Amino acid sequence: MRDAIKKLLKEKNAIMLAHNYQPPEIQDLADMCGDSLELSIRAADTDAEVIVFCGVHFMAETASIISPDKTVLLPRHDAGCLMADMINAESLEAKKARMAPMPVVTYVNSTAEVKALSTICCTSANVVKVVNSLPEKEMLLAPDRNLAMYAASKTNKTIHVWDGYCPTHEWLTAADAAKAKADHPDAVFMAHPECRPDVLVLADVVESTSGMLRYASQSPHKAFIVGTETGLLHPMQKQNPDKTFYPASKKMVCRNMKRIGMSDVALCLENLSGQVKVPEDIRIPALAAVTRMLDLSR
Ligand code: 13P
Ligand code: SF4
């Protein structure tokens, strides 16, 4: 299957991108693995005609927003994001109508139609930079309430919160985190900003998935507790065979991130099926919000 996929990638002039939470065999085959920000930048910069996006729907949609002339394939149409489903254009319009005029910072974990109503996008890797880049003192950050509260704690801005969250990260309680720390007293506790605030106060390091990977590689420490989706343990262990990684909780599994298998990748490449395309009337305003973020991050 690996050889068949490699051959198809070549034949179709395709690149395979995989998020850090994908199953190990998918990460091992991909041309590039990364966090949401790195994958968007790569999708924007590639010369390939076809992008096979091994992640969830909003990630493939973001690639299509940036590169409308490329064929963007999501190998499983049912790989969604529960957080992205907690907001839509209608509910955001209604919230905006109830608030004083202010910028809307939208986490990339959202649909294209929500991005289209936003001032600028952000990811977990650049949220503080994005918030600080805006001249306004007050803004709405949607849909992740935990990311919004984290950004508020790191800036002197007034941030209005949308009541969305990632169930995978919400499962990690402060009690789980405290127990992991007690069980492994020498380990550095790294957490993703999608975790609850009472978990983040216990963390030694708060980073995006790739930020945690970099930290673990560069740190002189030998043991780490990983407070994010457990898929990240695969690249961490692979890149650092001499270090030990413990999941903060084994419950932190995103089922949507685990849907794609090798046969799905082969099938979508063979038939160019699972194409994700955003209508132009939504793509153009969504692109403005994504480009504003990418210009800050490149
Ligand atoms: P990052 O890889 O950008 O940190 O995102 C985490 C996530 O939940 C993606 O769905
Ligand atoms: Fe969405 Fe959470 Fe899964 Fe990421 S881990 S795709 S935010 S549900």
Domain residue limits, the chain: 2-80+257-283, 84-163, 172-251
Name the one residue in this structure whose structure tokens are 């069980």: 183
Q: How far is the CA of 284 from the centre of ligand 2 (A)?
A: 25
Is residue 298's pLDDT more than 80? no
Q: What is the pLDDT of residues 42-77, one digit of tens each?
A: 888 899 999 999 999 999 999 999 999 999 999 999
pLDDT classification of 233: cutoffs 50, 70, 90 = very high
Query: What is the pLDDT at residue 104?
Result: 98
What does the pLDDT read at residue 155? 98
Give residue 41's pLDDT: 87
Q: Which residues line ligand 2 (CB under 6 A)?
A: 56, 81-83, 109, 166, 168, 229, 254, 256-257
Per cent of the chain over pLDDT 70 is: 100
Q: What's the 208 CA to ligand 1 centre distance in angstroms?
A: 7
Stretch 152-176: mean pLDDT? 98
Q: How many CB atoms lie within 10 A of CB 20?
A: 26
pLDDT at 68: 93
Q: Are 140 and 102 in contact (CB under 8 A)?
A: yes
Looking at domain 84-163, its CATH architecture is: 3-Layer(aba) Sandwich (3.40)
d(CA 11, ligand 1 centre) in Å: 30
Place of tokens 């695969």: 234
Whether 2-80+257-283 shares its CATH topology with 84-163 is answered yes
Is the overall model pTM greater than 0.85, yes or no? yes
**The CATH number of 172-251 is which of 3.40.640.10, 3.40.50.10800, 3.90.1170.10, 3.30.420.40?**
3.40.50.10800
Closest atom, ligand 1, to C-alpha of 36: 3
Alpha helices in 121-277 (DSSP H): 127-133, 145-154, 167-170, 174-183, 197-200, 209-218, 233-239, 262-271
Q: Out of 19, 74, 110, 260, give the residue to mutate to test ligand 1, the one with the largest number of ligand atoms within 8 Å of its CB.
A: 19
Split at pLDDT 50, 70, 90, the class of 178 is very high
Residues whose CB falls within 8 Å of the CB of residue 281, separated by 6 or more in sequence, listed in order: none
CA dist 190 and 204 (Å) reads 6
CA 230 to ligand 2 center in whole angstroms: 12
| CATH architecture, range 2-80+257-283 | 3-Layer(aba) Sandwich (3.40)
C-alpha 196/C-alpha 176 separation (Å) is 12
Burial state string for 61-87 with b = 16 or more CB within 10 A and e = fewer than 16: bbbbbbbeebbbbbbbeebbbbbbebb
Q: Is 208 in the pocket of ligand 1 (CB under 6 A)?
A: yes
pLDDT digits (tens, 9 = 90+) for 81-133: 999 999 999 999 999 999 999 999 999 999 999 999 999 999 999 999 999 99
Chain mean pLDDT for the chain: 96
CA–CA distance, 96 with 183 (Å, rounded to integer)? 46
Mean pLDDT of 216-225: 98
